[in-house]
Structure 1
Amino acid sequence: MKTITLLLFACIVINCTAQLTSTVIYNFEGTATDLSDNGNDGTAFGGATTVHNLKLFNNNTDYLTVPADAIDGLDDFTISFRIKFAVFHTTGSFPTNHIFSGSRSGCVQCFGFSYEKVMDVWKLAFNGAVYTWDDADLEERTWYCVSLVRTDGTIKFYVEGEEMPGSYFDDSEIDITSFVIGQEDDCVGGCFVTNQSMYGRMDNFQVWDGFHFGCNYNAHTKESAITQTPEIISDFTIYPNPANNYILIESKNPEGGFISIVN
């Protein structure tokens, strides 16, 4: 018989995430309405569609704008989303599949994020610095859940819940007046180039003011939950099985305690 004991971990996670605030959440079920109740609704341009997910084609006209107030000024943050690239850009001048661009007057791309297939690297441009996560050999037409996180000035990046090698310290301010999903801007909120477009689909985009499970765990997506009162449970069923990413076990006891799983 194998016994696994989880010591207070689940309780600590819940205590932390309960204090977080989401600044914007889109599930793209026909609109880009902000489900965080902050009124930060997105606006689609060009041929961008929001039916079940955000779909952007291979051009310099499809994109989604997000009110910059949802990101501007954040200290700790999680920016998380699911993404599926249709085709990777590998030709032309500075090819990249650019995911989002945050800019202001005098600072274009002062907060921008992209994936570059030529180098197999994720890249964050932040106030003149560039931070990269290497060995990212992605496949076209495959969904990935990614989370960009900053806590206490340390920036980390997660793919499918796994932390990518490399963390960076940068506590500089996010100071933007424009935020665009799907294009790399060469002027504030515009001047796009086709071979730098995201070209693909995005879903479950969300921003939090601290560390969060992101697109791996979101009450606004289709999930199941099991609630049990404190007792010894001999048997229970988890659905769906297998779980897509994680099974989150929560302790609601404010005094703490143990959770023991016996298999």
Structure 2
Amino acid sequence: MAHVLVIGSVNVDRLWRLTAPLRAGERLTRSEMSLRLGGGGFNTGAALRALGHRVTLVAPLSTDAAGRACRTQLEAMGFDLRAMRETDAPTVPLDILIGPEGERTIIAPAGTEARRLTSLPALEADIAYVNLRRAAPGLLEALAARLPVVAQVPLERTESRPAQVLIASSADHALFTGADAFREARAIGGDDLRSLVVTQGAGPVLLCEAERRTALPVPALAAPAETTGAGDAFAAGFIDGWLAGSPAAAAARRGIEIAGRVLAGAPGFQRPPPLPLATVLAATD
């Protein structure tokens, strides 16, 4: 199988399961709270590991008790951690509110949202996947010059993401569903961009290329317990298909398949076990 360099985030997710849908101004009641390994880099990497690929993670990880608990789980899952950057900054969980219908609302700490990638290891790999908010100027251009890249469209429009394939969620980037989607994406991904792939939750996946647009249906699923990480799993499936030499449409169908497996909790694609609550809370109080 392939070696994938995954550049993203590894978080502690604090999940709040709500007994009623989230509505502004209402009093919220939760049924349970748990802590779990998460983050876009981890979620995509975990699905790639389940598909048999070697995954080198590039992300910061605290040296506190919570960070050590995360490292233990990552090692047990077989991740290559030599490119992880240790930091003395304390772990701050990312809060995820999960409604009874499975939809999630994310509340991210301001400190983690402000992170900027400033260096990359000089590692050989078959492909790189980039899912981060900000990077130092020129860093990702140098990466794309030496490796094929699949990347998430950044939330800030001032950020570039040189890549052969860009992936976006319509929830974050509704503008990419318009007629000029590919042209707008090329301004972010550069002249080597071949495809823009837009996920729309349970709606069809849009594949936008220079000469055509294709809508790929998403099979109906039983209501999932939660939708956290579905887009990250889609990215893993797309990369798996693309590495196998599939055209973009077939790779997107592979992404749809793998996202469905994760949402269904299929064997090999189950959510990670809870982190030790006392250890993590001691580090984050």
Q: Report the TM-score when normalising by structure 2.
A: 0.28
Bigger RCO of structures 1 and 2 (CA < 8 A, at least 6 apart):
1
When Rg is computed on C-alpha atoms for both structures, the one with the higher figure is 1
Which of the pair is proportionally richer in helix?
Answer: 2
Q: Report the TM-score when normalising by structure 1.
A: 0.30
